[in-house]
Structure 1
């Protein structure tokens, strides 16, 4: 299995399949590159080169205790694009991965990139502040950390079987296979990385980063997202971007790349082409 060693000595697992224009996928918290299976197989069959890594502390990457912040996430992504000498790449980020993509483009430039797509992504800022009065209260994220520390297996099971995929909505039938796969990915990663990651995805302000990005960005968000609420995320990011396009999905949940893969894949393909 391929691994990359970062400047600070962390081994990062990655997948690199196919040839053609590269599409680089950045996964959400607390998952792994496996969460992109439906997208990677689809785009591989459309003759694209597909690449995805397990963020530091997640999946098969080393369970380091340090560096669980957006700057390190972006630097790791930059190191991977340099290692593989990617050019004209399309970066696709889901949830926390969307923040990673935004910070990468703002911090390392757009020289290797052509386009980006943000799916159910955390920018501009999740937590409530004086400048972001419609954000979520910090106590909510403190509670997530407390649940993770107290009983990570139960917390993850409840999250996957509830709001992440919208399985808590009336009339929605849960998929045990999807829940089990989410739980499997989460439990592969390190508790410290996931604990710190809650602060990274909730308290990082991407406003300045979004304003720096010039390339075309498709912002994809479901209006029934219970993890990253729609009104304070997707529309605001699209407005801050110089060349952003917002696509809203009625009734779609946070985990829509999995539950609504056919729709998401078709729209991504149209945007990339």
Structure 2
């Protein structure tokens, strides 16, 4: 099992498939999942000759179940350590949801030559929570309810989310995929409750405005128009105005978990973006 050890002693698990001299593509998962959420994309890009990397964020999956460091600065530092350890050059970083925030913070601070492009899918930037400066955001009580549900019965909460809004399975006429629900639950329950609890504040309250402004590489934004978790109007619609070199594609009727429900669509768009860089 491939791992690195962060400066605070935390062990971070990662996957690294494909030729070392191939174009690297690194994937960043959402809350509260793991690198396994990217299996379809990793196999797809591997089959097209790319080197693919994905890690379990600290506190998630097979990485250490940390009770500290569950914040965006530390997450981005862990990514930088992986990039340095594997000597990734001009890598494309693809992040979903919370992972999109992680990519934004890393991309804004990356060493020259380490990153060649970024993709944010249903991503949380610029900031999720409602405030006086973000009146259209999601009320804090929603995130407090997340914390309460996690604390009360994490196992049930991690069934309710994928069975409903995450994949849009609560919409009329949408075919439920039990395998996706079960796999979401499996990934989520493998992580640590404390890290997952802390990460709710990290993904909902972190302001990525300055990170987005600082990104110099091309950025592709992908978003499902029926995203019930990270609504387009409060996230990507605002974020694209802050990035200097950006492309946007939205998907009518698709959910927050669109790359899992419709990999054939998303993979093709990712590949086209990367080939054009």
The question of a shared fold, defined as TM-score above 0.5 by the shorter chain, is answered with: yes
**Equivalent pairs, count:** 273
Q: Secondary structure of 2:241's partner?
A: helix
Offset at 1:174? Answer: 1.1
Change beyond 3 A, Cα 1:196–1:47? same
On the 8 A contact 1:211/1:241 being kept in 2, the answer is: yes
On the 8 A contact 1:96/1:122 being kept in 2, the answer is: yes
Supply the distance in 2 between the matched residues of 1:233 and 1:220 (Cα, whole angstroms).
Answer: 11
Offset at 1:110? Answer: 4.6
Offset at 1:109? Answer: 4.2
Q: Secondary structure of 1:240's partner?
A: coil
- Deviations along 1:117-166, whole A, 9 cap, x unmatched? 00000000000011111000001001100000000000010001000000
On the 8 A contact 1:235/1:246 being kept in 2, the answer is: no
The runs of 5 or more residues in structure 2 that have no matched partner are none
Supply the distance in 1 between the matched residues of 2:174 and 2:248 (Cα, whole angstroms).
Answer: 26
Larger deviation, residues 106-115 vs 5-14:
106-115
The runs of 5 or more residues in structure 1 that have no matched partner are none
| 2:13 corresponds to 1:13 | yes
Offset at 1:107? Answer: 2.6
The residue aligned with 2:110 is: 108
Q: Secondary structure of 1:239's partner?
A: coil
Change beyond 3 A, Cα 1:99–1:164? same
Offset at 1:97? Answer: 0.3
| 2:216 corresponds to 1:244 | no
| 2:123 corresponds to 1:121 | yes
The residue aligned with 1:201 is: 203
Change beyond 3 A, Cα 1:141–1:110? farther
Supply the distance in 1 between the matched residues of 2:111 and 2:232 (Cα, whole angstroms).
Answer: 27
The residue aligned with 1:89 is: 91
Q: Secondary structure of 2:138's partner?
A: coil
Supply the distance in 2 between the matched residues of 1:110 and 1:137 (Cα, whole angstroms).
Answer: 38
- Deviations along 1:166-204, whole A, 9 cap, x unmatched? 000011121111100000000000000100010000000
Supply the distance in 2 between the matched residues of 1:140 and 1:32 (Cα, whole angstroms).
Answer: 23
Per the normalisation by structure 1, the TM-score is: 0.99
- Deviations along 1:61-97, whole A, 9 cap, x unmatched? 0001010000000000000000000001000000000
On the 8 A contact 1:110/1:215 being kept in 2, the answer is: no
Change beyond 3 A, Cα 1:71–1:135? same
CA RMSD of aligned residues (A): 0.7
Per the normalisation by structure 2, the TM-score is: 0.97
The residue aligned with 2:158 is: 156
Supply the distance in 1 between the matched residues of 2:178 and 2:62 (Cα, whole angstroms).
Answer: 23
Supply the distance in 1 between the matched residues of 2:130 and 2:182 (Cα, whole angstroms).
Answer: 32
